[in-house]
A and B are shown apart, each in its own frame.
Chain A
Amino acid sequence: MNIQFRDRAEPSTPIAVKTAIADCDIHPARATKQELYPFLAKRWHSHLETWGVHPYQGMMEGPPYPKAQPNASRRDAYPPEGGQQGSSLSFMQQQLLDPYNVALGVLNPLGATGQGMRNHDLAAALATAINDWQIAKWTSQDSRLKGSVVVANEDGVSAAAEIRRRAGDKNFVQVLLLSRNVEPLGQRRYWPIYEAAEEAGLPVGVHAFGFGGNPITASGWPSFYIEEMVGHSQCQQTALASIVLEGVFASYPKLKMVMIEAGFGWAPSLSWRLDKIFAKLHGEVPHLERKPSEYIRDHIFWTTQPMEDPERRDHLFDVIDWIGWDKLLFATDYPHWDFDEPSRVLPAGVSDANREAFYLGNAKKLYGIA
């Protein structure tokens, strides 16, 4: 976080800053709404001006819970040439990619990208546009950056078509979904996405956030932004439980998924709970061939930001040992306010091999980057 850091007894290890890292959650932004227009059919320009993006939430402008700062982004991340944080490649290079020696940066565009929208034709057009825009503005301009195939998440058919359109295109390293959708992510309406992703050899990243019309708690809408922020972890847990219990990995055994920006500390307790109850209720889900925790262990990767931050580092190491050092992908979440500083996230006491896997090796392997 960029607000404060706890003083640690041991000094942070500066070596991480100099060594190349992967940043598996970078949010590129549009400087203006009109920036996407060159990639959108004319019909949609006036549509957007007149009716907006028509999401599964009430606000015409902005999020339902006001963020803690503008665009939930660092106040020092406004580009000198103007536009919102994260909208300038040169400033991203200067503030993130160069100083932290980011060898691989995975782009996860958020906002009006075609996800969480009620008009599925508009959603499909926006998703295609945002993918073309990622190539034009980012990945073709800096080879360290790789895109995520954004799809119209509620329309499996158009989403699968978009994935097939991008299959084999080295500008993209994953398919992007959000955790909150009209239904839990294991539901069959989303399976065409998983089928196409597996076929294309692309992992599916599931980023926290999104809108599907459901309250962010199972007891309705809470009052505060912090409840939404913390609640994304519970949404992610539920979405993952749905994916596992519906049998997505039993049906798509080569598919990998990445849980992005939802924390990873809950992975062991969720796996244990799933296994414990599966032992008694497996008769309801006979399509599962293995214990839930085995699907999670073999198919799921976790980006690190926002790192869980226990008072005692041995507690963090316990959790990572339970998940596996080969399953974590370092991420900063640039330019968002809860940025994790690479040199600060891992306490001392990690082996060189684990440190390398955490910061770079796991990501290169998963995303097929040499």
Chain B
Amino acid sequence: MTSPLAGGVDCDLHPAVPHLTSLLPYLNDYWRDQVTTRGMTDLVSQSYPTNSPISSRPDWRPAQGKPGSSLDDMKAQALDRFGVSTGICNPLYGVQMVFSEDMADAFCRALNDWLVKEWLDKEPRLRGSIVIPVQSVEKSVAEIERCAKDPRFVQVLMLVMGDMPLGKRAYWPIYAAAERLGLPIGIHAGSNYHNPPTSVGWGSYHIEDYVAQAQAFQTQLTSLIVEGVFARHPALKMVMLESGWSWLPSYLWRLHKFWRGVRMETPWVDRSPQEIVRSNIRFSLQPIDAPPDPAILNRLFDHMQSDELLLFSTDYPHWQFEGDQVLPEGISPDLVRKIMVDNPHATYPRLKQPVAKETTP
């Protein structure tokens, strides 16, 4: 087994909102009234049904409540167990699924405030991602600016499937704000289900939706690259979270080939897709969609042609690996250090910032 290195950064942890009513203290009177009067139900996304095996490792599933809803469990099962210095929280509560941008905005603000009070204030190793109401770029920018005053927010979080491809120019003010404030954009698996969850329509099964997340990441990378996001924002980092990454090399071979063929269509793309990925795009380690064969894995790492792309993640409490086997078999100590320490610190500049309590919004 490859042992984790003490002092690493876990870049993908999922604290769970116990219920929509948990956000009531963080909503204003109007929205509190809306939630109760209209009998709104819990915002659990189809991407992660609470009882689906993917949503929690069996030995991490609590006797009561949602997996990932207990800070004590997270400490024992992830933070302490893998000896990390820092864990980045990416809440996956289904606030993006609602269709009203006003409601989404209220829920996002409540979710971010909830994260501060219930998690970040209680555990000094934790950092947060800013969940934004993507339907409204203006409100998203405002929420980024509001939360960014707290240096414990180290990233902006978006879902891989939304209303429009992520490279679209309408979204660029979000990227400008993130770049200005030293926040990478984290793009996590999941959908707001405003479009079919695959590019060929609605499938029959949850397992299909999960497999399709990887294809959604591929199309989003294409969009981000060819629209020119990184020509405009060269310092912006984006992190693909729970995306898988074994698809990356062959995907880039194809994109590169077509880019050479039709680059006249997008002349502002001034570097090859490979170069853009190497400088601007990172991937969380889990899930590792490859056989547990060190020979194949080491070939895949060779195909990646960079040891700077992967960031350590447990994807806690999602079920991606067994026991303590969070790192793949047969990788070098040097690569372990890169994945667990060097690469996350190079990606998240705010991890270096001292945390001052009074900056909490």
Contact = CB atoms under 8 A, between A and B. Distances in A.
Interface of A: 1, 3-4, 68, 179-187, 212, 214-227, 229-231, 233-235, 237-239, 241-242, 245-246, 263, 265-266, 268-270, 272-278, 280-281, 283-285, 306, 308-311, 315, 318-319, 322, 337-338
Contact of A184 (B195, B203, B223, B258): B203
B236 interface: no
A3 B256 CA distance: 13
A283 B265 contact: no
Contacts of A319: 250
Interface in B249-265: 249-251, 253-262, 264-265
Contacts of A68: 261-262, 264-265
B267 to A, nearest CB: 12
Nearest to A233: B254
Interface residues of B, number: 71
B205 A184 contact: no
B164 A219 contact: yes
Contacts of B54: 277, 280-281
Interface string B178-221: 00000000000001001111111111111110111011101110
A315 B223 CA distance: 25
A276 B302 CA distance: 21
B211 A241 contact: yes
A308 B210 CA distance: 25
A269 B250 contact: yes
B136 interface: no
A346 B167 CA distance: 35
13 contacts: A184-B201, A186-B203, A216-B199, A220-B164, A224-B266, A230-B255, A231-B199, A238-B200, A242-B203, A246-B204, A272-B289, A308-B253, A310-B249
Contacts of A215: 195-196, 199
A322 B223 CA distance: 29
A258 B266 CA distance: 32
B219 A265 contact: no
Contact of A222 (B216, B222, B246): B222
A133 B163 CA distance: 42
A210 to B, nearest CB: 9
Contacts of A1: 257, 260-261
Contacts of A284: 205-207
Contacts of A187: 203-204
* Residue among A231, A269, A318 with max Cβ neighbours from chain B (10 Å): A269
Interface of B: 52-54, 160-168, 191, 194-208, 210-212, 214-216, 218-220, 222-223, 226-227, 244, 246-247, 249-251, 253-262, 264-266, 287-291, 296, 299, 302-303, 305, 319
Contact of B191 (A218, A222, A225, A233): A218
A3 B195 contact: no
B23 to A, nearest CB: 26
Nearest to A241: B211
A266 B220 contact: no
Contacts of A277: 54, 207, 210-211
Contacts of A229: 258, 262
A3 to B, nearest CB: 5
B220 A217 contact: yes
A281 B251 contact: no
A83 to B, nearest CB: 25
A273 B202 contact: no
Nearest to A274: B211
A212 B201 CA distance: 8
Given A184-B201, A266-B251, A277-B54, A224 B257 contact: no
B262 A225 contact: yes
Given A219-B162, A220-B165, A310 B253 contact: yes
Contact of A230 (B197, B214, B222, B247): B222
Contacts of A219: 160-166, 195, 216, 219-220, 223
Nearest to B227: A223
Given A4-B260, A68-B264, A220-B163, A237 B226 contact: no
Query: Which 4 residue pairs are nearest across A and B when measured between Cβ atoms?
Result: A265-B250, A234-B215, A273-B289, A217-B219
B265 A183 contact: no
A278 B207 CA distance: 7
Given A183-B200, A184-B198, A218-B212, A318 B303 contact: yes
Given A184-B203, A234-B199, A238-B200, A270 B162 contact: no
Nearest to B168: A223
